[in-house]
Amino acid sequence: MELRQLAYLDAVVRHGGFTRAAEHLRVAQPAVSVQIRRLEAEVGARLLHRTTRTVALTHAGELVLGRARRAIAELNAVRDDIAGLAGGLLGRVRIGAIQALDSFDLPAALAAFHRQHPAVELALGSGALRRLLDGLDQGELDLAIGPTPPGLPARYVRTPLFTDELVLVTAPDHPTAGTDPLPLAALRDEPFVCLPADSGLRAILDRLAAAAGFTPRVPFETTHLPRLRDLAAHGLGVALVARSVAEAPGRPPAAVHTVDPGPQLRPVGLLHRADTALGAAAEACRAFLAGWTARTDLPGRVDPGEDAHP
């Protein structure tokens, strides 16, 4: 089994087909097909279902690809470590983050890290927690920034960043506008606005509502957190959002309520796979972001400086 074969398998799945994988790898398409057939012959199982339009992993393919991506990550980590020995940090760090990070200035933190390590390539994407965890599992992300609920699987290493509070948002003229804390049971007949059904925030809303004895009715869904707050502010429903989102400046007036029972605290942290080695660049970025939190409240904070990472 050759590392090249594993890399070709990863490329075929990542790019959705042999032709696009070959274009990405800058090799002829038949060369990719040959290497995949050799890999299948060596492991003794078909790894891909092939049709005229798409390819899909078999169960055996899923097992092989998971280990292949971890092997590729280990090799990249070795390369980063060796490059670091030569002086100056090199490498690429792929980060995924949830939207609600208002209390953590991620752009400023990444800019400061980039000033210290200009040769490190940073890539940033966003999404719900499930999407970020899938990115870690598929080897598409090195680090993720998102909620760290108690039931998070042990395969994810957690580095705490901050704790946000979930609050309820209603229109300023809502009958409950002066109520704080606001019992969730009082809202059983109200429409809610929330993230889609497969999101972590929706799961929290469903859990809190179930404890209050009802199932929330959610006629409005959006993947944009500030829009949740604005829909509630305009009287179209009640929103459960992070306080940092609820109290963000420059938005329409709204009533913000502490949740009863509560407060509902949501820890947010840095995540990475326990069984996948972080390269020197990714580890330095992880340590830098973890240390950034301690400096964000300092008066007149500037670039954290050279002591912000090991």
Among residues 17, 47, 68, which one ends one of the domains?
Answer: 68
pLDDT of residue 235: 94
Q: Kindly state whether residues 271 and 158 are assigned to the same domain.
A: yes
Could you tell me if 129 and 14 lie in one domain?
Answer: no
**Statement to judge: residues 256 and 283 lie in one domain:** no
My answer on whether 17 and 150 are in the same domain is no
My answer on whether 209 and 75 are in the same domain is no
Please state whether the predicted TM-score (pTM) of the whole model is above 0.75. Answer: no
Chosen domain end from 48, 68, 88: 68
Same domain, 154 and 181: no
Domain total of the chain: 3
The reply to whether 275 and 237 lie within a common domain is no
**Which residue among 13, 43, 68 closes a domain?**
68
Per-residue model confidence (pLDDT) at position 109: 92
**What is the model's pLDDT at position 308?**
33
187 and 233 part of one domain = yes
Whether 202 and 216 share a structural domain? yes
Q: DSSP alpha helices (H): ranges in 16-127? A: 18-25, 29-43, 59-85, 106-116
Same domain for 240 and 149: no
Supply the CATH number for residue 39's domain.
Answer: 1.10.10.10
Q: Over 206-239, what HEC string results?
A: HHHHHHCCCCCEEEEECCCHHHHHHHHHCCCCEE
CATH number at residue 109: 3.40.190.10
Q: Report DSSP state, residue 149.
A: -
pLDDT along the chain (310 residues), means of 10: 83 85 86 88 87 81 85 75 65 88 84 91 89 87 90 90 91 91 94 89 91 94 89 95 86 92 86 87 92 54 35
- Tracing tokens 């069984």 back to the chain, one arrives at 275
In which domain, by residue range, is 200 found?
Answer: 164-265
Specify whether 153 is located in the same domain as 85: yes
> What is the C-alpha to C-alpha distance for residues 182 and 79, in angstroms, rounded to an integer?
54
Neighbours of 292 (CB within 10 A): 22
Do 279 and 248 share a structural domain? no
pLDDT of the residue at 294 = 52
